[in-house]
Amino acid sequence: MNKLARLAKEISQHLDYLAGLCIVAVMLLVVSNVLLRTLVHRPILGTYEYVNMLTAVGVGLALAYCAYQNGHIAVDFIIERLSQKMQTAADVLTNVTALSFWSMSAWHVAKYARTMLESNTVSPTTQFPLWPVVFLIALGLMALSLVLTVQLTQSLQMAFAASLPNRLRPAGFKPGIDAPINPAIEEGF
């Protein structure tokens, strides 16, 4: 595994851990709010806003690790019927499209967060600044773009290796077995 793939794995795992903390915080907040509302008749002010923000951050930070594990839903019943070359081409095209979309999304979300910082945008009830939430979502999207860059690189390597004559292919390369590379499987996840 190369340095970029290791970096993508480590970053995505750390962000996934933070996403898990966000979900635990949501759980604790909701349970505490219900208990305080029921027992003391004093709910936590802004629970709805905090739950929304923590959930958005949790989802944004978890995207990269999910992509690293190839955990996203893939409808491949048509692709699997194509030749190996066509499958590899479809994989490259999918990765190029996904990388383009998510990297542009990360850029625009980060720009939006900066605008929120400059305009001091806050939530309506708690007056909590919203820019950190949006920056964390942008960070998650940047990490997703890094994972997609690794996957695109691997897809291109596979496409290149598959196009070589047999005598020039890497030792042990089998086009029907080796494509596409899944880093999660290589690492034993």
**Can you give the pLDDT at residue 1?**
58
pLDDT band for 168, please (50, 70, 90 cuts).
low
Mean pLDDT score of the chain: 88
Q: Is the pLDDT of residue 185 over 50?
A: no
Domain ranges for the chain: 3-186
**Can you give the pLDDT at residue 2?**
85
Percent of the chain clearing pLDDT 90 (strictly above): 68
The string of pLDDT tens digits covering residues 14-64 is 999 999 999 999 999 999 999 999 999 999 999 999 999 999 999 999 999
- SS3 per residue for 63-131: HHHHHHCCCCCCCCCCHHHCCHHHHHHHHHHHHHHHHHHHHHHHHHHHHHHHHHHHHCCECCCCCCECH
Instruction: Say what the pTM is.
Output: 0.85
Q: Is the pLDDT of residue 92 over 70?
A: yes
Segment 89-101 shows an average pLDDT of 94
Q: Is the pLDDT of residue 100 over 60?
A: yes
